Amino acid sequence: MSSSGLGGLNKSPQGIVVGLVQLQNPDVSTPAELAAQTQRIVDMVGKARRNNPAMDLVVFPEYALHGLSMKTDDAIMCTLDGPEVAAFKAACIEHRIWGCFSIMERNPRGNPYNSGLIIDDRGEIQLYYRKLHPWVPVEPWEPGNIGVPVCIGPKGAKIALIICHDGMFPEMAREAAYKGAEVILRTAGYTAPIRHAWKITNQSNAFQNLAQTASVCLCGTDGSFDSMGEGMFCDFDGTVMVEGSHRPDEIITCEMRPDLVREARVHWGVENNIYQFGHRGYVAVKGGASDCPYTFMQDMVRGEYRPPWEDEVVVKDGQPCGFPAPERRYEG
């Protein structure tokens, strides 16, 4: 089984060193504050490089740029070709490091998207993702519509990004793994009441998919909201390799071993769940059963997902959190 390599200080030939930034929770309301926070993230990219010369990828939490206010003011929304993303690209080039960043992305057709980017050390966007599951009823973001992409990262590692609430749905990590992801990043702005669920889902997402997970929240308070930090790296057997604290701006590091993930996915017999899920009972029947016995999946494909208690659900929109009931239908 792999280890953290003393937080990546002892880097193996096949390993990639990942740094998780427990970024101080910002309060951003104006274009000037957005520009200042952009510079702060750029400065932290430099700190990450100085922190560990072997670091391959530095990961910033969800809301690193915009904070937890949930403001949808167009004046502080971002675009892929805007100055904030340009600054992130330049920082990755300058410090010769890959970076994972969070933006609230302008959407001319509706509410903004909660988007994530992985930028390589040449300043090129290698992964672009829109959060599929905004944290309802708290978040106003448009539901993502570009699936769960996977990119080839440092040393050929296959990397996916899911954002915060996404990680509470086992189907999200499974989709990432099914598309080849060996390392699943999860960025978040979670607050302390979610602490237990955060830990167990990071572990279960790893074990259920024979993947390694690297997850990090914002940290500290903005004067109104407290986020919890608690970056953590999990191995593909579900064990925690490295766990962070509640200290804002701490960068926790770990060596990830996608080569051992590949080895396990090929050679494990017992608990090779990502393979066995689609090959039920292969001891009894040749190749296993590959049908879909899950009613919820079949109903969702037909657009008819409906739990038995559907009519009794109390919270079905954002009104309890001060958002007006939407009138516009999802277009996909």
Question: Are residues 255 and 4 in contact, defined by beta-carbon separation less than 8 angstroms?
Answer: yes
Query: Per the residue annotation, which of 89, 131, 182, 250 is the catalytic one?
Result: 131
Query: Per the residue annotation, which of 78, 92, 164, 254 is the catalytic one?
Result: 164
Q: Is the four-CA dihedral 3, 256, 275, 305 of positive or negative sign?
A: positive
Residue 303 class from Cβ within 10 Å (0-12 exposed, 13-18 middle, 19+ buried)?
exposed
Residue 25 class from Cβ within 10 Å (0-12 exposed, 13-18 middle, 19+ buried)?
buried
CA–CA gap between residue 142 and residue 150 (Å, rounded):
21
Question: Are residues 237 and 292 in contact, defined by beta-carbon separation less than 8 angstroms?
Answer: no
Tokens of 229: 């930090």
**Is there a catalytic annotation at residue 131?**
yes
**Residues known to be catalytic:** 62, 131, 164
